[in-house]
Structure 1
């Protein structure tokens, strides 16, 4: 019994010792962090005039002066981070001069050497800084580093550095191939990384959309959202008929969002596509496009097997004015099953939402739809609420 107590006491003392050691280590880390932060602030204050000089002389010709005096490691790091901050903020000649200043100060050379370090942490820090300095000469080593590593959050840091530093579209495409080779659904993230490149966006997008790899094509399609690139529209029209399901769906969404003057045969083709995502995207676009001629197609789509296609079709019919709303009422009255259900749901939603408008035009539109509704379904009178708990007043008060 006593031996068990001794073992228990020893275990408790060991645990207390480990807890105490952990607290001491945390305190040391906190003190070390505070000291480093204090030194950073001191170095920023020390080089305040130099930073002002750089900002004031960016427009002038000739080489910019290097930091004065012999710099300590942390001091160099503070100045390098300030350069990188400005490189992110500025464009054109200003950025080019700051990148050259990083080379002249030896920052690029030092980080290129650090890429061959035994420590992965040092290599990763160097990769991040090289991307921040747009060091084109680091791209081959960064590509090799990305190729050897497994996919994780650190891969994104390396990929962004490649996109920022690359001056050839082939390097960006190779980076995307490596990133997507792991089979992860990261097309939106890859598109975001690709757009950080300083190269011409239209040239990159054209190469992505023409690539035989469907994954790269999808990245190009995702990257096109929010990008006004007229040069790629012919390629986009071709991809609408792609055999790859995801590519075709994304291309159709983009094609319809560009608000083209759709031909009747194009609408029929899209509304009968074998992929429900394509049919849903087409149905959703027909309302905002004011394609009143597509009302019969939308009514037919209320019978689609996919609920999203039915929902978007009903929504577009409601957006096509009186003719579209009347078609909804007809479908709700004479239709059956899922068609009738989809039409009734949209009619109910329209009648609830539109009566809340206060603008004259909206009130007129609502009243027209109300008349159509009452013609098909009859006038629904609101029940009179009975007043309870109120004493009767009246009678003869003459005395």
Structure 2
């Protein structure tokens, strides 16, 4: 072999060796870091357990002193203690809330998280918001609200989520409405925020009312979609009112919300929407009548099985069959001469062409 070949061989071997050493070092670092984390977690879990099992105040104070001495100024250990508490679950945090609030103050967790809200890193600020909400750390809402002007979606989302978990009705409603132009995440994210709102059903209904009244059409539609599954009868006036909106998504949201109430008193409002010029609205109304419709819906739904749009015909046929007594009316359509209507019914009941 030539000298050049030997040189290339040595270089290749050296690179392979360096690569192998890098893998070994990375694995070793990860492995030993995990062992250290587990050791710290066990220590913190033990002290946390001692705190909640302590029967007298002096014993609790003694555990707090041990915790403070162990954590000192370590951000890592404070983070791990926070995670230990969060992992115990919402029920545990609610049941032991008074003790936990004292613990947050005495161990500096509250101050630690408030300080993190001022971090230059978006990830840290978003995480601090989430943790404040998960810990139910009340009286921090004003600090959280300072971040609503952030241009980072993750921060904005976690601000709203934290306020929802803290049950801050006024600030949450205000931020959802006055800052709707700055909220650039999907309607599903907004729905998740509403779903996470903690408090009695009456408080959530008050939040929904306040937000609907003050928001633009886009946010109205999102909030009403979020409200639909909750079956809030007290919001029905809003649902009926916005059926006349020029916004298609808002009208569809109202139709769905009315249908979810499962109250035939609203049947005629949904029937009227079958006359809409927008096929999406007609399709939503036809589908909604499957939940709220009675025999009064047979004829309007029968007419919709001849609609020029397939989805309208399909939803109308589905709704007609699902209403008690609707099969009999569907049979008249099958015996009729309208091919589109017959095909819609046959597709739903599984008849061959």
TM-score normalised by the chain length of structure 1: 0.70
Partner of 1:197: 197
Over 3 Å counting, the alpha-carbon distance change for 1:29 and 1:194 in structure 2 is farther
Judge conservation of contact 1:80–1:102 (CA < 8 Å) in 2: no
> How many equivalent residue pairs?
341
Q: What are the equivalent positions in structure 2 for 1:376-391 lying under 5 Å apart?
A: none
Structure 1 unaligned regions, length at least 5: 353-376, 378-399
What are the superposed Cα offsets for residues 178-206 of structure 1, whole Å, 9 maximum, x if unpaired?
A: 4763544x112112123323342122111
Mean Cα deviation higher: 303-312 or 43-52: 43-52
Over 3 Å counting, the alpha-carbon distance change for 1:138 and 1:41 in structure 2 is same
* CA distance in structure 2 between the aligned counterparts of 1:344 and 1:230, rounded to whole angstroms: 36
Mean Cα deviation higher: 213-222 or 138-147: 138-147
Q: Where has structure 1 moved over 6 Å in runs of 4 or more?
A: 60-63
What are the superposed Cα offsets for residues 230-256 of structure 1, whole Å, 9 maximum, x if unpaired?
A: 332332332333332111111111101
Partner of 1:363: none
Q: Is it true that 1:209 corresponds to 2:206 in the alignment?
A: no
Larger Rg: 1
Q: Is it true that 1:231 corresponds to 2:234 in the alignment?
A: yes
Aligned pair partner of 1:33 in 30, 39, 52: 30
What are the superposed Cα offsets for residues 27-64 of structure 1, whole Å, 9 maximum, x if unpaired?
A: 43432332233233323433555333333369x99995
* CA distance in structure 2 between the aligned counterparts of 1:215 and 1:33, rounded to whole angstroms: 47
Partner of 2:296: 293
Q: Is it true that 1:281 corresponds to 2:284 in the alignment?
A: yes
Partner of 2:310: 307
Q: SS where residue 240 of structure 1 aligns?
A: helix
Q: Which has the higher contact order (CA 8 A, sep 6+)?
A: 2
* CA distance in structure 2 between the aligned counterparts of 1:15 and 1:321, rounded to whole angstroms: 79
Structure 2 unaligned regions, length at least 5: none
Judge conservation of contact 1:114–1:123 (CA < 8 Å) in 2: yes
Judge conservation of contact 1:87–1:99 (CA < 8 Å) in 2: no
Aligned pair partner of 1:84 in 73, 77, 86: 86
Over 3 Å counting, the alpha-carbon distance change for 1:53 and 1:312 in structure 2 is same
* CA distance in structure 2 between the aligned counterparts of 1:272 and 1:175, rounded to whole angstroms: 33
Over 3 Å counting, the alpha-carbon distance change for 1:311 and 1:38 in structure 2 is same
Over 3 Å counting, the alpha-carbon distance change for 1:117 and 1:326 in structure 2 is closer
Partner of 2:106: 104
What are the superposed Cα offsets for residues 334-393 of structure 1, whole Å, 9 maximum, x if unpaired?
A: 32342333234345x1x58xxxxxxxxxxxxxxxxxxxxxxxx9xxxxxxxxxxxxxxxx
TM-score normalised by the chain length of structure 2: 0.78
